Amino acid sequence: MTPRLWAVVALGGLLIALLVAAAFLVPWHRPPAPRADQLAALRDLPAAQVSRGRAFHAALRPGSYGALAVGLVVALVLGLTPLGARLVELGGRPFGDHWVARAIVGGLAIVLVAELATLPFAAWRHTVMVKYGLSTQSWSGWVVDVLKSYAVTAVIGALALLGFYTITRFAPRWWWAFGAAGAACLVVLLSFIVPVLVEPVFNKFTPMEPGPQRTELMALAERDGVPVRDVLVADASRRTRAVNAYVSGLGPTRRIVVYDTLLREAPPAEVTSVVAHELGHAKDRDVFTGTLIGALGAAAAVIALYVLGGWGWLLRAAGVDSMGEPRALALMVAIVSVVGLAASPVQSLVSRRVEARADQHALVLTGDPATFEAMQRRLSTVNLGDPDPPRWEYLYSASHPSTVERMAAARAYARGER
């Protein structure tokens, strides 16, 4: 068989593996959260709180969807015209037009143009968050975080681009196979190193002081059968008033992380309820599931890009000869952007199912639906959530069940519904 035919077969196998993994590892069954209970919960929330949350999200929407639209337009203009290829050429020109310079400098230039195009919308979002009191970050602090984000993206991107285009250069017929393996390995590697190397770039983490709260959280993890290395406190208050907690890392890097804002805003029982939810993700190996699905998806994406390289009209539109050359990076970004936009509702659905299972885990682990519901009220109030968002937005982009869904799930659990 030819390399292209092998690629088609491999792509089919990866897509089947992806569907099988999703079918068996994603919790498609949703715990009961009757709509009648959701409406009752909505009526129980203070009207002023509901109005403020909805106003906040209405103020965010123009910036959020504006950034989405502009980012897509920029990706399509660069990818489906020769502009992207020329930009990559310009990046390599000061370095003798060497292929490494094209791959790294030119590739990062494509990414930077897209980031800069949406930067005004990110600033808009920051303005709204400051206006509503959710952000505690000054403009200087915001700019520093943006620059840090660019730096992290540049480092990871440069390594990925260098590795990918080294493969395409020295294995021009079989780069899809090595590239797919490399992309999958990169996803797995990032799952391990992000908690250790990337998270500290944006937050300072300190061990929680010994005391009843730390003892309770460590005991909760032990009772749940989830080994954790430590309980850390993140200094989230230097940029936000939002409250949160999470379990981060895999294996030896796993730790419970609690926002300092959560410790200030919530009583100990509610902190325990939030951590119980996060332990559910670890207990059910949601990080492993996400990593596996992400690795399969990344490998499939690389091979799909190779297969699409056989579509001559795409290459002609981009002004390139092959999908494996650095000048074609903008075309790749355009394709990935379109696919990502189309796949967003599916990703959101999967995320909501995973989060609903973690909610159920917290209810079972703590046996305290009243505290769970109280915590959802607090999360919605402090984080300025829309407790019952518009259906179209919920289906397209909501990564978590709505506040009223979570409150309804607690009420159903209290009645013995499972």
DSSP 205: E
Residue 65 CB contacts under 8 Å (≥ 6 apart), including other chains = none
When mean pLDDT is compared over 179-183, 244-248, 254-258, 307-311, the highest value belongs to 179-183
The predicted-structure confidence for 183-201, as pLDDT tens digits, reads as follows: 999 998 888 777 777 778 7
User: pLDDT grade, residue 177 (50/70/90)?
Assistant: very high
Whether the predicted pLDDT of 223 surpasses 90: yes
Same structural domain for residues 138 and 37?
yes
| β-bridge mates for residue 206, sequence order | 233
Residues 97 and 189 in one domain: yes
pLDDT at 110: 94
Gap between the Cα atoms of 287 and 278, Å rounded: 11
**CATH number, domain at 231?**
3.30.2010.10
Asked whether residue 119 falls in the same domain as residue 40, the answer is: yes
Q: Average pLDDT, stretch 210-219?
A: 94
DSSP for 3-66 reads: HHHHHHHHHHHHHHHHHHHHHHHS--S-----HHHHHHHHHHS-HHHHHHHHHHHHHHHHHHHH
Alpha-helix residue ranges (DSSP H) falling in 173-285: 175-193, 199-202, 212-224, 260-265, 268-283
> For the residues of 163-196, what is the DSSP string, one character each?
HHHHHHHH-TTTHHHHHHHHHHHHHHHHHHHIII
Closest CA to 53 of 390, 370, 356, 408: 390
Does one domain contain both 105 and 225? no
Q: What residue type is 311 in one-letter code?
A: W
Residue 252's pLDDT band (boundaries 50, 70, 90)?
low
The pLDDT value recorded for residue 193 is 79
Q: Give the end of a domain, one of 256, 284, 312.
A: 284
Q: What is the mean pLDDT of residues 134-144?
A: 93
pLDDT at 372 over 80: yes
Last residue of a domain, one of 284, 305, 332: 284
Same domain, 35 and 132: yes
Helices 268-283 and 212-224: crossing angle in degrees, nearest 10, is 30
Question: What is the per-residue pLDDT across 49-104, written as a single tens digit (0 to 9) for each?
Answer: 999 999 999 999 999 999 999 999 999 999 999 999 999 999 999 998 899 999 99
Find the mean pLDDT for residues 23-37: 94
266 and 312 assigned to the same domain: no
Q: Are residues 303 and 278 in the same domain?
A: no
**Integer angstrom CA distances of residue 75 from 178, 243, 250:** 26, 34, 34
Q: Which of 98-102, 115-119, 198-202, 268-272 has the lowest mean pLDDT?
A: 198-202
Boundary of a domain, candidates 225, 252, 284? 284
Cβ–Cβ under 8 Å, residues 358 and 372: no
Sign of the Cα torsion 290, 296, 299, 304 reads: negative
Report the candidate in 131, 238, 237, 176 with the shortest Cα–Cα distance to residue 2.
Answer: 176
Evaluate if residue 250 carries a pLDDT over 80.
Answer: no
User: Are 316 and 190 in the same domain?
Assistant: yes
Residues 47 and 191 in one domain: yes
pLDDT over 70 (residue 180) = yes
Percent helix, strand and coil across the chain, each to the nearest 5: 75, 5, 20
Query: How far apart, in Å, are the Cα atoms of 282 and each of 7, 221, 248, 254?
Result: 35, 10, 9, 9
Rounded CA-CA distance 376/92 in Å is 52
For residue 231, list its beta bridge partners.
256
Has residue 182 got a pLDDT over 70? yes
The band of 380, judged by pLDDT with boundaries at 50, 70 and 90, is: very high
Residue 375 one-letter amino acid:
M
Task: Express each pLDDT in 149-161 by its tens digit.
Answer: 999 999 999 999 9
Distance set, CA 93 to CA 78, 84, 103, 109 (Å):
18, 14, 12, 13
Q: What is the pLDDT of residues 309-354, one digit of tens each?
A: 888 899 999 999 999 999 999 999 999 999 999 999 999 999 999 9
Helix (H, G, I), strand (E, B) or coil at 206: strand
What value does the mean pLDDT of the chain take? Answer: 92
Predicted pLDDT of residue 247: 85
Burial of 78 (0-12, 13-18, 19+ CB in 10 A): buried
Residues 56 and 194 in one domain: yes
Task: Provide the number of structural domains found in the chain.
Answer: 2
Q: Do 139 and 118 lie in a common domain?
A: yes
Asked if 409 and 356 touch (Cβ cutoff 8 Å), the reply is yes
Residue 230's domain spans which residues? 204-284
**Has residue 249 got a pLDDT over 90?**
no
Q: Are 327 and 354 part of one and the same domain? A: yes
